[in-house]
Structure 1
Amino acid sequence: MYDIKRLEAGQQQKLQQAQQQLGLDLSGQQQNHQQQQHQQHQQLTCSVIAAPENRANPNPNPSEATHMTLLTLRRRRSLQRRACLLSILAAFVFGMALGVVVPMFGLPRHPDTPPDLPEEIIAVEPVLSSYRVEFIKEADAELSAEQVFRNAFHLEQDKDAPDSMVVKKLDTNDDSIKEFHVQRTASGRYRKGPERRLSKEVPERVQPEEKPRSPSTPSSSPSTEPQAGLIEEDVFWGPTVEQALPKGFASKDQLTWERFVGEQGRVVRLEQGCGRMQNRLVVFADGTRACARYRQNTDQIQGEIFSYYLGQLLNITNLAPSAATVVDTSTPNWSAALGDITQAQWKERRPVVLTRWLSDLEPAGIPQPFQPLERHLNKHDVWNLTRHMQPERPAQTQGLLKRLGAATSPGSAHQSSAIEETETGTGTGTATATATASGALVQRLIELAQWSDLIVFDYLIANLDRVVNNLYNFQWNADIMAAPAHNLARQSASQLLVFLDNESGLLHGYRLLKKYEAYHSLLLDNLCVFRRPTIEALRRLRAAGAGRRLRDLFERTTSAGVRDVLPSLPDKSVKILVERIDRVLGQVQKCQGS
């Protein structure tokens, strides 16, 4: 049998031994942990090494040593950063004082500098300006179309950027051609890039000294003085040109055509012709013909008829008589052409504009002054054109026999008569050449005077389908400016220019101004000769209110049926028209001041 008490005593001894061993391990770990903390504390503290003179002192200040000992490395670094920032700030302030403040108030004179000069010498010496500090205001980067495209002769759309274009212009300062890029902004203005010279500067020509001539010696060169009656007040065509202009279509023609379309005109058939796909040549019962302009959108019909009204208010007689009406096959005026109307895919109760048919029309080109590299017209151009087209007078020479005194020799009567016949024949030929040149000059000036009205009219209505169409396509086809102008014709008998197809005016053209305003301004900016009746009518229209006058004319000349399907001119278009009227009048004032 086992002794239970002895077994319990043995187990208690083993348990006590295990507890003693465990206590020893825990105490050892605590001692190791305390030693590590003590070492870390020693690493984070710094000791103060006394200077050699302080080492000899056996009794240092205990409080100071304790304070310096407690400073950590982090605090010392913070103090170093602050000291560095303060030194940089002090250097900056000192530099500003030397660079700005001292030059503004002047530097004191050095004692070694020479004494002041006498007043006489000071008066001769150039006065040096004192130092100044100025801040240059940055120029506005956005420019108007007038500032960018003045004297420009070529515009090309940038293929990579749809809102940018390449502009080439003639610099009037040095007669050189320059190229630059222009970017159109959302506000309708332009940002201009740096200019690049494409041609060399043209040196000034040295005028040869004229030899003095006696008063009795006549000048053999033609007169350089401008002819009277061509230009008045430097900007208006003179009476010589105004009286030679063709009469065109007067207000009486318009009243007659409106009465015919509204009351007497009975359509019998429609034929192909008159431009666009759905346009038709209308034949009336009495044989009268007219061009019918039909569109799905009424804004183009509005543009056509209101552009015509604007031409009437400006006394521009180059627009063929037009009238607005409504297609209604239930009325006698349209019932006979029901089959042709159905074939043309016209809809009932749609507005159309009927323009009187003109048979004797021929294509009209763009004059040289408005083509690239020479796209400008002013008083100097007119005078130069006059001098160049005047025939040179042949020298008044006499026969050799007459100059040698052959009249005193036998047979002098026969020789003198032969000389007289020769001189008579020469005089007749000279008169014929002069008359021919004079007629050609008058025709040229008549064409340019009508183009003055054309440019003003197209700018006011923002017409896209005439000269602007040629200018826009010039970047792809360099020969298009030599081709006939789009929607422009000339009457063969009277040489009257007829402005056709104005449907893009006042509405559709205004919506595309951001894209095409550069081309409109390009033509107007280079025009400095105007017709006085047109500008005076434009001033009266501006004073009376352009919108009110146009709407009154629309109410007075159209029937109630037309007004039911065709709206009047919107307020937005009236506002833009007034702005463009001011722009034209401003161009006239600018030309008068130049």
Structure 2
Amino acid sequence: MYDIKRLEAGQQQLQQQQQLQQQQIQQQQAIGHTFNERLSGSAPLQLTCSVITPTPPALPSAKSCSSSPIEATHMTLLTLRRRRAFQRRACLLSILAAFVFGMALGVIVPMLGLPDYFASTSSSSAGSVELAPAALLPPSEQPLSSSYDRPPLPYSVSFVKEEAEQLELSAEQVFRNAFHLEQDKNAPDSMIVKKLDTNDGSIKEFHVQRTSNGRYRKGPERRLTKTVQSERSRTLAKPQQQALRQSHENELQAAGIIDADIYWGELVEQALPQGFAAEDQHSWEHYVAKEGQVVRLEHGCGRMQNRMVVFADGTRACARYRQNTDQIQGEIFSYYLGQLLNITNLAPSAATVIDTTTASWSTALGDITQAQWKEHRPVVLTRWLPDLEPAGIPQPFQPLERHLNKYDVWNITQQQMQMQMQMRDAGAVMSRGLLKRLEVAAASGQTVDHQSSMLEESSATASSTASPLPASPASSSSALLQRLIELAQWSDLIVFDYLIANLDRVVNNLYNFQWNADIMAAPAHNLARQSETQLLVFLDNESGLLHGYRLLKKYEAYHSLLLDNLCIFRRPTIEALRRLRAEGAGRQLHELFERTTSPNVRDVLPSLPDKSIKILAERIDRVLAQVHKCGDSNKSS
């Protein structure tokens, strides 16, 4: 508004100056006309004297305006623009100053601990001012002491990102004690989880959604069953429960079953089957590379393109052939990883190349052509094991339980002892009944032949009724030890399958459980047991380390399900895992690959990629973190 008035005032001054100039021009013209008339004689000559006063000089602005009105308007607009630019700068500077002040007040001040200082000063002043009126109130109306002991802080700081991270849980937190996973048909990244609440024994169901960073968002829980608490747990006080638990731990330690609360004891370790040692691997590699001569191929060994290879001396092997070398890499490098971890449950394997121009393959040229195998393709030859039988999933890893720790081991031993006591009681009852019948028979005067027939009848009845029970305490202890041996091998199986992200064994059963509830009672996929030694053999690991890593987003929940609920490990395996992490898993696998394969194999079969090595290192850390967590939880309990 001020600028407009100033512009109008300038225009008025310009008009006044123009009028003044016009008047001066008219006066000069009149004087010149009169002077001409006097000279020509037409008018009488009169001499006059006039004083000419100089006109005051015009203002510079007026001159500029009188010279060019457009230029004056342009100068005025420039002045307005400069003023507006100055106003914008002042506004931006004020906003910046307010932002800096707010950051200092909201972040730097809490970091320096000034809120505590304000709280302490306010509490001292509030205590002297407000406690006096409160003391005058009756006891029923007096406020709680906690509200006066610690007054509220003047302000608090919270970050939205931290609250969001608290809502996202890890796979361990979500799937611990879970026994059922089911994909949500309406949401591909969501699944339905059913888990056992160990506090009250109830079964709960909830939805989880996987986020982009590998964590999970958990929905509200829904209780499917009522709370189950045994009468014994209700009657026992907490100190009594702790004393009972400590006695259980001492018994397991003394018996050599559990060591340091998280490892299998010496008794179990010494009873484990020997498995396949390093000497078996060296001899098999030498046989395949130097001595073995393939004479024919037979159908068998699993998938369509796999074949049973028969050598000239009658030795048999399973040949794994794939169009994609990723699965060949997964099979051989998974075997190398098992060797580095001293896991002896993997059958000896060696990589070679199909070359019918050599003596090793030339005899089987017709069978190779019929099998549609291509020349110069890598294959993995695994030694044939004839005495294998299907192996099921133990009870601790089936639904409604699916966890293994030292307390589960104690429960298993107690169940076996109860069976032994039942057998002993049943034998004592039968003996007392037989003696009573013999006494009655002798008193009634029956013959010796009749009494002998009674003995034979009672022995036959005893054998028929006691057949499901162990025959002796020694056999009962042997059955218990065999069960613990199986669980110890499953500890290695869970760790090994988690490291390589194997999809074709227990994860296969877990994933299909949502459609087939009986699949967990069926034999485990790609798992067999030697009939004579009870050794579990881990078969078909081709999905490990490469193909399984690509599908982690879909199957990681199933991989973590068993590992998160495992708290008993084999000490040699964990120690080897720590050494592998310290020395570098990628370097160790590469050196083993270079040492055990020929140049022809390395030309067609690449080493393990860096991405897989990185994921393997992360999963090694995850297993060791689980071991550490189990140790800490046992110490706190």
Equivalent AA in structure 1 for residue 614 of structure 2: K
Spell out the pairing of 1:161-310 with structure 2 (5 A cutoff): 161-203=187-229, 205=231, 225-226=251-252, 228-310=255-337
The SS at the match of 2:472 is helix
Work out which of the residue numbers 524, 528, 537 in structure 2 matches 1:489: 528
> What is the match of residue 142 of structure 1?
168
Equivalent AA in structure 1 for residue 193 of structure 2: V
> What is the match of residue 86 of structure 1?
none
CA distance, structure 2, for counterparts of residue 292 and residue 453 of structure 1: 25
Unaligned stretches of 5+ in structure 2? Answer: 1-118, 237-247, 440-450
**1:331/1:114 CA distance change after superposition, 3 Å:** closer
Equivalent AA in structure 1 for residue 512 of structure 2: N
The answer to whether residue 485 in structure 2 is matched with residue 446 in structure 1 is yes
**1:110/1:350 CA distance change after superposition, 3 Å:** closer
Spell out the pairing of 1:303-452 with structure 2 (5 A cutoff): 303-390=330-417, 391-392=420-421, 393-394=424-425, 432-452=471-491
Work out which of the residue numbers 157, 178, 185 in structure 2 matches 1:152: 178
**1:311/1:112 CA distance change after superposition, 3 Å:** closer
Q: Is the 8 A contact 1:224 1:387 kept in 2?
A: no
Unaligned stretches of 5+ in structure 1? Answer: 1-100, 211-221, 407-417
C-alpha deviation, 1:442, in angstroms: 1.2
Work out which of the residue numbers 603, 616, 619 in structure 2 matches 1:564: 603
> What is the match of residue 589 of structure 1?
628
Spell out the pairing of 1:93-104 with structure 2 (5 A cutoff): none
Q: Is the 8 A contact 2:498 2:559 kept in 1?
A: yes
C-alpha deviation, 1:175, in angstroms: 2.2
- How big is the alpha-carbon RMSD for the aligned residues of Structure 1 and Structure 2? 3.8
**1:192/1:330 CA distance change after superposition, 3 Å:** same
**1:241/1:269 CA distance change after superposition, 3 Å:** same
CA distance, structure 2, for counterparts of residue 109 and residue 379 of structure 1: 57
C-alpha deviation, 1:201, in angstroms: 2.1
CA distance, structure 2, for counterparts of residue 453 and residue 477 of structure 1: 27
The answer to whether residue 594 in structure 2 is matched with residue 555 in structure 1 is yes
Task: Report Cα offsets for 1:422-469 as digits up to 9, x if no partner.
Answer: xxx9xx999942122112111111110110000000000000000000
**1:114/1:367 CA distance change after superposition, 3 Å:** closer
**1:308/1:204 CA distance change after superposition, 3 Å:** same
> What is the match of residue 11 of structure 1?
none
C-alpha deviation, 1:106, in angstroms: 5.8
CA distance, structure 2, for counterparts of residue 440 and residue 530 of structure 1: 21
Work out which of the residue numbers 454, 460, 467 in structure 1 matches 2:506: 467
Equivalent AA in structure 1 for residue 592 of structure 2: L
C-alpha deviation, 1:130, in angstroms: 4.6
**1:563/1:342 CA distance change after superposition, 3 Å:** same
**1:249/1:116 CA distance change after superposition, 3 Å:** same
CA distance, structure 1, for counterparts of residue 222 and residue 157 of structure 2: 28
The SS at the match of 1:528 is coil
Q: Is the 8 A contact 2:208 2:219 kept in 1?
A: yes
Pick which of 184-193 and 512-521 moved more: 184-193
**1:455/1:114 CA distance change after superposition, 3 Å:** closer
CA distance, structure 2, for counterparts of residue 431 and residue 322 of structure 1: 39
Spell out the pairing of 1:19-34 with structure 2 (5 A cutoff): none
Equivalent AA in structure 1 for residue 259 of structure 2: E
- Scaled by the length of structure 2, the TM-score of the pair is 0.67
- Scaled by the length of structure 1, the TM-score of the pair is 0.72
Task: Report Cα offsets for 1:43-99 as digits up to 9, x if no partner.
Answer: xxxxxxxxxxxxxxxxxxxxxxxxxxxxxxxxxxxxxxxxxxxxxxxxxxxxxxxxx
Equivalent AA in structure 2 for residue 253 of structure 1: D
CA distance, structure 1, for counterparts of residue 130 and residue 267 of structure 2: 75
Q: Is the 8 A contact 2:177 2:401 kept in 1?
A: no
Q: Is the 8 A contact 1:152 1:169 kept in 2?
A: yes
CA distance, structure 2, for counterparts of residue 280 and residue 399 of structure 1: 62
CA distance, structure 1, for counterparts of residue 591 and residue 347 of structure 2: 21
Count of aligned positions: 470
Q: Is the 8 A contact 2:577 2:620 kept in 1?
A: yes
**1:528/1:223 CA distance change after superposition, 3 Å:** closer
CA distance, structure 2, for counterparts of residue 479 and residue 299 of structure 1: 32
C-alpha deviation, 1:199, in angstroms: 1.5
> What is the match of residue 46 of structure 2?
none
> What is the match of residue 570 of structure 2?
531
**1:266/1:228 CA distance change after superposition, 3 Å:** same
C-alpha deviation, 1:224, in angstroms: 9.9
Q: Is the 8 A contact 2:292 2:312 kept in 1?
A: yes
Q: Is the 8 A contact 1:271 1:280 kept in 2?
A: yes
C-alpha deviation, 1:184, in angstroms: 1.4
CA distance, structure 2, for counterparts of residue 434 and residue 111 of structure 1: 78
**1:129/1:294 CA distance change after superposition, 3 Å:** same
CA distance, structure 1, for counterparts of residue 396 and residue 611 of structure 2: 34
> What is the match of residue 448 of structure 2?
none
Work out which of the residue numbers 500, 508, 522 in structure 1 matches 2:547: 508
> What is the match of residue 543 of structure 1?
582
CA distance, structure 2, for counterparts of residue 239 and residue 491 of structure 1: 23
Spell out the pairing of 1:57-136 with structure 2 (5 A cutoff): 115=136, 128-132=148-152, 134=156
C-alpha deviation, 1:582, in angstroms: 0.8
CA distance, structure 2, for counterparts of residue 559 and residue 530 of structure 1: 36
**1:364/1:399 CA distance change after superposition, 3 Å:** closer
CA distance, structure 2, for counterparts of residue 464 and residue 584 of structure 1: 18
CA distance, structure 1, for counterparts of residue 565 and residue 301 of structure 2: 33
The SS at the match of 2:510 is helix
Equivalent AA in structure 1 for residue 203 of structure 2: I
CA distance, structure 2, for counterparts of residue 372 and residue 233 of structure 1: 28
Q: Is the 8 A contact 2:470 2:476 kept in 1?
A: no
C-alpha deviation, 1:185, in angstroms: 1.9
Q: Is the 8 A contact 2:195 2:203 kept in 1?
A: yes
**1:111/1:343 CA distance change after superposition, 3 Å:** closer
The SS at the match of 1:173 is coil
Q: Is the 8 A contact 2:191 2:209 kept in 1?
A: yes
C-alpha deviation, 1:174, in angstroms: 2.4
Identity of aligned residues (%): 73
The SS at the match of 1:240 is helix
Equivalent AA in structure 2 for residue 132 of structure 1: P
The SS at the match of 2:401 is coil
Q: Is the 8 A contact 2:527 2:536 kept in 1?
A: yes
Pick which of 304-313 and 124-133 moved more: 124-133
Equivalent AA in structure 1 for residue 388 of structure 2: L
The SS at the match of 1:488 is strand
C-alpha deviation, 1:110, in angstroms: 11
C-alpha deviation, 1:172, in angstroms: 2.1
> What is the match of residue 497 of structure 2?
458
Q: Is the 8 A contact 1:466 1:486 kept in 2?
A: yes
CA distance, structure 1, for counterparts of residue 228 and residue 298 of structure 2: 58
